[in-house]
Copies of this chain bind each other. A is one copy, B any other.
């Protein structure tokens, strides 16, 4: 059957609770989203294939709609494939959708925009049912200053100051540079939560958590929006504040 000689390119949309995983990328002897998918797809199709994500998420980071492509030869119908995946996968990972994609569709390279959210819980006591899914920060924050700071990062900037200094990131970014365009960047109050939503054409490793860490420093009064502009200009990771905890971060949407 000629049609099955080159593999199908299946686009999966995934939600996951990243709390108990060591991130997206496969690692020896540690539970990862990609690694779990590899073994579950092998169990279902008998094929060994490495799903390609729209990007890595770090240990503890969640996804509402991560996108990954997987090359399989099995003629399994899409609906059956999705159901079989959800039957075998741990409940912390769900396949929301499976669809046929053109051969040249690539989860990372074809992406035009991504949206992330970061949830901060402000109440004094964080319900145990929420603890895995937010960053608990019950101390005072100047929300107006944080809102202003969020606006500063909108537009095209060199985000070197907010990129993780690690070899992986360097390798990944070598092809292009650290310039990214942020289409929107804002904080919203949602009940007892303060939520940051950012949409851009791409994000460097740790970029959202590093931005949130600096916004928090601004909220505490340790820095101002002016400092944020200066930090961006410095293009030096050590100029910005600490990385915010992983548990509050969600990959919300990938646009193609």
Contacts and interface: CB of A to CB of B under 8 A. Distances in A.
A136 B125 CA distance: 28
Interface string A107-140: 0000000000000000001111101110010000
Most central of A15, A127, A128, A136 by chain B CB within 10 Å: A128
A92 interface: yes
Nearest to A250: B129
A195 interface: no
A129 B91 contact: no
Contact of A15 (B15, B92, B94, B127): B127
Contacts of A93: 128
Contacts of A95: 125
Interface in A63-107: 86, 91-96
Interface residues of A, number: 20
A128 B16 contact: yes
Interface of A: 15-17, 62, 86, 91-96, 125-129, 131-133, 136
Contact of A92 (B62, B92, B125, B131): B131
Q: Which 10 pairs across A and B sit closest by C-beta, in order of nearness? A: A91-B131, A17-B128, A92-B128, A94-B125, A16-B128, A94-B128, A15-B128, A17-B129, A129-B133, A15-B127
The oligomer's copy count stands at 2
A87 to B, nearest CB: 11
A92 B128 CA distance: 4
A136 B136 CA distance: 28
23 contacts: A15-B127, A15-B128, A15-B129, A16-B128, A17-B128, A17-B129, A17-B131, A86-B125, A91-B126, A91-B128, A91-B131, A91-B132, A91-B136, A92-B128, A92-B131, A93-B128, A94-B125, A94-B126, A94-B127, A94-B128, A95-B125, A96-B125, A129-B133
Nearest to A63: B128
Contacts of A91: 126, 128, 131-132, 136
Contacts of A15: 127-129
